[in-house]
Every structure is written in structure tokens, then in C-alpha cells.
Amino acid sequence: MDEYLKYLTEVQKIGKSNFIEDYHYHGLAERYLQLAIEVILDTGKLIIIAENFRQPEDNQDIFAVLSESKIISRPLAQELIGIAGFRNILVYDYEKIDREIVYEKLQNNLDDFLDFKKEISRALKRRL
């Protein structure tokens, strides 16, 4: 995830009009956002399995389960539920991707990935 966030941070510096007009930028952002989201989804699933928490109903529910189990905070879970929904757009509704929304996610949601990493690390240290 760190590698993906590094790339996303570089693309984050691009101005909005250049980002929207240049397929290189929005293509990179879409792909690396998808990969970063996949990392947090997979990490959440592994923790749920390892800790024998209730099975999530879908990808968005992974974060609700982690929040219910005091692994991540409720506010972070709400942000990540939205990000998981955005992943579905990137993967399944790719013809409907709005470049302005991708830009907004790039500008406003990268810290959510870092917060996830911090909260997961804290929770795992408490359990050891």
C-alpha cells in the first residue's frame, strides 16, 4: 500500500484541469486507488478470519465488522465504507467513472488509507 500511496501522492499534486484532460494522470489515479483499496479490503478480511469475527455481507461491511470489533474507529469505518463503494465503480462501472470524482477522492481520501494502517497497527499491538 505504501508504494501505491507514494504514486498517488505524486499524482495528487497535478492541477485539476491537467488531471482531467490527461489520461495518464486519471488512469494512474484510478488504477492505484483501486489497488490501495484492494489492500485494505484484503487486510480487513484477513483480520476478520484470524479473529473469527462475524462474516461481512459484502466489501463495505468489512469495515463495519472491524469497527464493531474495536479494530478501527467508527468515523474511519464510515469513510472506508464509502471508499469500498468507490472501488465497485472503478471495477464494475468503469464506463461511468467521473474524472472529477476520481480527482476529489485523490485530494480528500488518501489520509484514510494511512489512518487505516495506523489503527490496524495499534489494534494488533494491543492484541499481542
In order of start, what are the domains of the chain with their CATH numbers?
2-127 (1.20.120.580)
pTM of the model: 0.93
- Cell numbers at 42, concatenated: 484484503
Alpha helices in 52-73 (DSSP H): 59-68
Q: Distance between CA 40 and CA 113 in Å, rounded? A: 8
Higher pLDDT, 67 or 89: 67
Mean pLDDT, all residues of the chain: 94
Q: How confident is the model at residue 128 (pLDDT cuts 50, 70, 90)?
A: low
Percent of the chain at pLDDT above 70? 99
Task: Answer yes or no: is pLDDT of 104 > 90.
Answer: yes
Q: Average pLDDT in the 48-54 region?
A: 96
Count Cβ atoms below 10 Å from residue 94 Cβ, excluding itself: 10
pLDDT at 124: 86
